[in-house]
Each structure stands twice: as C-alpha cells, then as structure tokens.
Amino acid sequence: MRQDGRSGCPINRAVEALGDHWTLLVLRDITFGGRRHFRELLAGSEEGIASNILADRLHRLLDDGMLTRDDPGRGRRATYSLTESSIQLIPVFVALGSWGLRHRETTEELAVRARLLEEGGPAMWEDFMAELRVTHLGAPAPGHPRERVLERLRAAREAARAS
C-alpha cells in the first residue's frame, strides 16, 4: 500500500484512494459484475472505459493493496481479486447507491442492485462480504445455507432488463 498523500486525514486518504470515478467503477464491476479479467472489465463497462484508463486503474488498485493479481504465465489471462479492504467497501457502495437512487436519475435495470442492497440491510451486506471472501480470498464458505446474494442481485437485474 502506498504511503504518500497530502495528509494523514482518514477522509483525505480514502478520497485519494477512491476519489477518481473510474477507480470506484472498476471495483464495482469486479464486485458486482464478477468481471475478473482485463478483457471482461473492458468489454462489460457500462460507462465505456478506455483500455489505457482501465490498465492504469488496475495498476493503482494493485499498488494500493485493494486488488491482487495472479501470475498465470505467459499467454494466459491474469485474474484480479479483491482484497479485504475492497470487500469492506460494500457499505460504501450501498450508501453511494442509496444516495444515487434519491438524488440522481437512474434506470431501473441499473438501480435494482442498489435498491435490493438498501432493503436487505446490514445482514445482507455481511452475507455478501462473506461470499466475496470465499470467491476472492479463498475463505471457507459460511455454515448457514442462505441464498447467495450475488445470485439474487444478478437475477433482479436480469428481471429488470427483461421488463
């Protein structure tokens, strides 16, 4: 994790790490979209991120300790994984989505995730973070047999897309 910065203020340090909108959108696409390879992130970007911007943001996130990247060898696709610090951004994503629902024009298809997470509350966020830890950190699966949050979010988005 880089230690440079304008000040040691926690808000400043968070804004320095996340203040660029592309950074948050790349993390969003890895977190909610399940996109873990460069080409998936590039092709699946709702906002049309340029390849040079994506490469730069991925490098920054790696340098800041918010992503890890496996080294699959020459000619193979690298996989990006969230770190614990990125997984702990779920409540931040929920707060941003809730604010956007109230104060910005959105589309139903893209707003459905924010609405579902807001309604699900902290218990759902914790379940989602536990799922992400299994997928990205190799943590053991939780012992409780609940419906997977990511599957619910994807199903809700597909239903909104179809209507």
pTM: 0.86
3-class DSSP assignment, residue 82: strand
Measured in whole angstroms, the distance separating CA 113 from the mean position of its chain's CA atoms is 12
> pLDDT tens digits for 133-144?
999 999 998 776
CB 96: neighbour CB atoms within 10 A?
14
Residue 1 has pLDDT above 70, yes or no: no
> pLDDT tens digits for 45-74?
989 999 999 999 999 999 999 999 998 777
For domain 10-83, which architecture applies?
Answer: Orthogonal Bundle (1.10)
Percent of the chain with pLDDT over 70: 94
| Res 156: pLDDT | 86
Question: What residue segments make up the domains of the chain, in order of their start?
Answer: 10-83, 88-162
Quote the Cα angle for 111-113-114, to 5°: 70
